[in-house]
Structure 1
Amino acid sequence: MGKRDKKDEPAAPAAPFHNPFAALAAKREELPVGPSAPAAPPVRKPEPKGPARAVVRMERKGRGGKEVTVVEHLELPAPQREVWLKALKNSLGCGGVVEGDDLVLQGDQRERLPSLLEARGVRKVTVG
């Protein structure tokens, strides 16, 4: 027996395409017009409310020569300071601690910190 080419075989008749929704397309014009949706006002994201100001400075004194970045004048309540410190430590990838009213972050973070503080709602960031 030899190989048979597909060209030699008769083409199978194409099955008719059956679309159950084809008849509904003609009835689209018969549908009643629904109520128009009221135009919703654009949703504005509320401004994050945060402290009015923050002072960011680098310090080495009394820390064995290690550099730390101190964030002062945030005037946050004690539980909020812990929340802010954790968020900043995660964003910067460094360690840190709350000392009194100040947030102390390890390393020199003066360049990266102002944008993070502004994103958290601080209106004026002073770098010293």
Structure 2
Amino acid sequence: MGKRDKKPETPAPAGPFNNPFASLGLKREALPEGPPPAPVRAEEPKGPARAVVRMERKGRGGKEVTVVEQLGLPEVEREKWLKALKGALGCGGAVEGDTLVLQGDQRERLPSLLEARGVRRVTVG
């Protein structure tokens, strides 16, 4: 006897593929009850009380930028807001001190985005 010895044949799986988790479905009834689902809060996002949005050209080589001031956010939050606004507007930007600076004239599109993030009063100047 040599290489031509055959292995005992195993029965073919019922479906086209072998499902290693098929036997777990039978044990589903034996599982204990899980915790109840957490209640969903329909609260408005809490944000700053106000923001001032204005367009600037001075000292920037003639390039237009939109400045968002008076948000009163901590530095970490300013970075998060800037990233979200840049992604939503499709523009570049930076944090300069306490202000967010976005490239281009975004005065028309920015107020609705700020209100969606929880700013209660947006002043466009």
TM range (shorter): 0.5 to 0.7
Alignment deviations for residues 97-118 of structure 1 (CA, whole Å, 9 cap, x no partner): 0000000000000000000000
Q: Which amino acid aligns with 1:67?
A: E
Aligned counterpart, 2:34: none
Separation (CA, whole Å) in 2 of partners of 1:79 and 1:127:
25
Separation (CA, whole Å) in 2 of partners of 1:114 and 1:60:
20
Three-state SS of the structure 1 residue aligned to 2:67 is: strand
Aligned counterpart, 2:109: 112
Aligned counterpart, 1:88: 85
Aligned counterpart, 1:57: 54
Q: Which amino acid aligns with 1:92?
A: L
Q: Give the TM-score of the pair, scaled to structure 1.
A: 0.66
Q: Which amino acid aligns with 1:119?
A: A
Three-state SS of the structure 1 residue aligned to 2:94 is: strand
* Greater Rg by CA: 1
Separation (CA, whole Å) in 2 of partners of 1:45 and 1:70:
31
Separation (CA, whole Å) in 2 of partners of 1:49 and 1:125:
15
Q: Which amino acid aligns with 1:95?
A: G
Identity %: 85
Separation (CA, whole Å) in 2 of partners of 1:55 and 1:116:
13
Q: CA RMSD in A?
A: 1.2
Q: How many matched pairs?
A: 87
Three-state SS of the structure 2 residue aligned to 1:54 is: strand
Is 2:44 the partner of 1:71? no
Instruction: Flag as ranges the 4+ runs of structure 1 deviating above 3 A.
Output: none
Alignment deviations for residues 59-100 of structure 1 (CA, whole Å, 9 cap, x no partner): 000000000000000000000000000000000000000000
Separation (CA, whole Å) in 1 of partners of 2:41 and 2:60:
45
1:44 Cα deviation after fit? 5.4
Is 2:42 the partner of 1:45? yes
Mark the runs of 5 or more structure 1 residues left unpaired by the alignment: 1-42
